[in-house]
Chains A and B, each alone.
Chain A
Amino acid sequence: IAGITQAPTSQILAAGRRMTLRCTQDMRHNAMYWYRQDLGLGLRLIHYSNTAGTTGKGEVPDGYSVSRANTDDFPLTLASAVPSQTSVYFCASRGLQETQYFGPGTRLLVL
């Protein structure tokens, strides 16, 4: 069982470009989440999905969009990347007792 996989592992992106971060889980969890982690700011929720077909906004949703076409996949799209979106992005899914399982992260640098 792989748990949660994220791709790419890291990326350097020119400002203004479109980018999709991929997240796949094989645990059949209903809820999934996208966070960004920045030094001094901790983990902040970008978007979430409680079940396939539904999504919701987190604390810092601007500039990001998500979709949840099925249970396993929860991609995060940056429509037009800006330098302030340089961060480490973590995808997570929720299992029993609100436990969140995190992926290994995607390190994104926007120049």
Chain B
Amino acid sequence: TQLLEQSPQFLSIQEGENLTVYCNSSSVFSSLQWYRQEPGEGPVLLVTVVTGGEVKKLKRLTFQFGDARKDSSLHITAAQTGDTGLYLCAGDVGSNYKLTFGKGTLLTVNP
């Protein structure tokens, strides 16, 4: 079973601060996805990265896929209270299309 480790597990910051969440593995993934989950709801896809070294931006969120396709990071600039939620990374090794999820980073942005 491939393991995806996310850090930090918990993060509490003030509105306006920047933050980075990390997702690391010893396995190579054909693609890696980031999801956000709000309380009482299912995860919602934010982005999929496929190419090693790829950087994708979604407004204030920047996603990077490591060159070796084993790790990824999510950087949020000038966090807002609406960014509060559980951020999950998930990797696909390319067979059977089964995703392996990290345990998540619970982000709280305080006003």
Contact = CB atoms under 8 A, between A and B. Distances in A.
Contact of A105 (B42, B98, B99, B102): B42
Nearest to B42: A102
Interface in A32-68: 33, 35, 40-45, 48, 50, 56, 58-59
Contact residue range for chain B? 20 to 34
Interface residues of A, number: 27
Interface string B33-47: 100000011111100
Which 8 A-B residue pairs are closest in the complex by CB-CB distance? Answer: A102-B42, A42-B103, A43-B101, A98-B92, A102-B43, A99-B45, A90-B42, A42-B101
Contacts of B103: 40-42
Interface in A1-41: 4, 31, 33, 35, 40-41
Given A45-B98, A97-B31, A98-B99, A59 B1 contact: yes
Contacts of B42: 4, 90, 92, 102-105
Interface of B: 1, 31, 33, 40-45, 48, 50, 88, 90, 92, 96-99, 101-104
A99 B47 CA distance: 9
B97 A43 contact: no
10 contacts: A31-B97, A40-B103, A42-B104, A48-B96, A90-B42, A97-B48, A98-B48, A99-B45, A102-B43, A105-B41
Contacts of A58: 98
A56 B31 CA distance: 21
A100 interface: yes
B29 to A, nearest CB: 10
A100 B41 contact: no
